[in-house]
Structure 1
């Protein structure tokens, strides 16, 4: 793997820095972070001048981040994002990055909570633009980080995530907002449901909104879910 620049040191950026730094020549930039144990913090220009650049920023900030790094990217640079949706971020990257920049959308299907015991066996989806070969990145992710790598196009990814992620986060958010008291005894199904809710309870509202509002396929499924819930409520009444 060539040298890598990481832009963004929020919750996921820090997780990425921790696991990437033992394997890569890695530097990072975040205007809000001056120092980090696992990686050298450098200027935006220095981080963006590397042949591989990872954007670990919220979906809403990807266009702005691309505009900021564009003047510093070397010719033919490979730029990756780690957003939970892919169609909109990849369109923004193509719109704001220089011609010739190679774009590889990625979606790590884990976060700081679900990866608390390590990355081994966790899944990640790679969505390369046409003409971009993800083989080198995929091999690194499999061999060095022990991730389960899936290759997809952006639309298939977002259609899949509408049910896999947007729906499950919606249900989990509702359960969390109910603020149920601790139960003296439970069932296995309740325990699994509570575990799913607890996994996303610490996610920011910004991430939840990105999953629900920036996936073009999530809205329809959300409407179907609430229609089904209302129909069930009517049956019970």
Structure 2
């Protein structure tokens, strides 16, 4: 490994962890830990304690596993280490990291607003949200993200989750419902149908853990979901009434 390059510990090498590693490997020495993942070029597979001992640690595990992961890595984190998560919600992950990580580390919650499918052609023009813990300077991470071509947004966890209830929880819900219909490819389409199909295809292969996190671990998603289905039932009722006229 190059001595002048900073090490990053990647904990979790699922779909997004592997995708992120591919973009970070040209700039950092990556130490990765995930007992279930296959080998990955540009990354050295190590035990959990070695990945956690890096100056920067990225937690790319499902939100449902984040609290336990924080407990597992806490004894190995060095003084002043920077710990980042990549979860699609921020209130719960920030709570877990504050509760279980030692006081001597710095915490920044991140939410890359893209994934392996939506950013298949590259990171340029994609967005990322940074939610730094109180007193943590997010400028170095923001600079790195901007260097990768990302548009950076600073937020607090509550504001982030309020926004994502509308932006993400709603769109993933609609897309999942459409995917469940399993509509066969039509012989011809409209532009609006094509756009709707594209949105469905972007989330079709997302894991159940990710979908459950977006829909159930965002504190503002349930009320929006209720309003959506109430509106759908109301529309259906009006259509049925007109049919009976």
Return the offset for 1:159.
0.3
CA distance in 2, matches of 1:211, 1:30: 23
Return the offset for 1:34.
5.8
Q: Which runs of 5+ in 2 are unaligned?
A: 241-245
The TM-score normalised by the length of structure 1 is 0.97
Determine the structure 2 residue equivalent to 1:64.
68
Candidates 126, 141, 145, aligned match of 1:137: 141
Determine the structure 2 residue equivalent to 1:54.
58
Asked whether 1:91 is paired with 2:95, we answer: yes
CA distance in 2, matches of 1:134, 1:2: 17
CA distance in 2, matches of 1:105, 1:30: 21
> Tell me, what secondary structure is at the counterpart of 1:61?
helix
Q: CA contact under 8 A between 1:33 and 1:41: conserved in structure 2? A: no
Query: Residue deviations 1:91-122, cap 9 Å, x none?
Result: 00111101122110000011111111111111
CA distance in 2, matches of 1:38, 1:3: 12
CA distance in 1, matches of 2:168, 2:162: 10
Aligned residue pair count: 236
CA distance in 1, matches of 2:134, 2:103: 14
Determine the structure 1 residue equivalent to 2:213.
210
Query: Residue deviations 1:147-200, cap 9 Å, x none?
Result: 111110000000000010000000000000000111111111111001100100
Asked whether 1:151 is paired with 2:176, we answer: no
Q: CA contact under 8 A between 2:14 and 2:37: conserved in structure 1? A: no
Q: CA contact under 8 A between 1:125 and 1:149: conserved in structure 2? A: yes
Determine the structure 2 residue equivalent to 1:35.
39
Return the offset for 1:76.
1.7
Determine the structure 1 residue equivalent to 2:111.
107
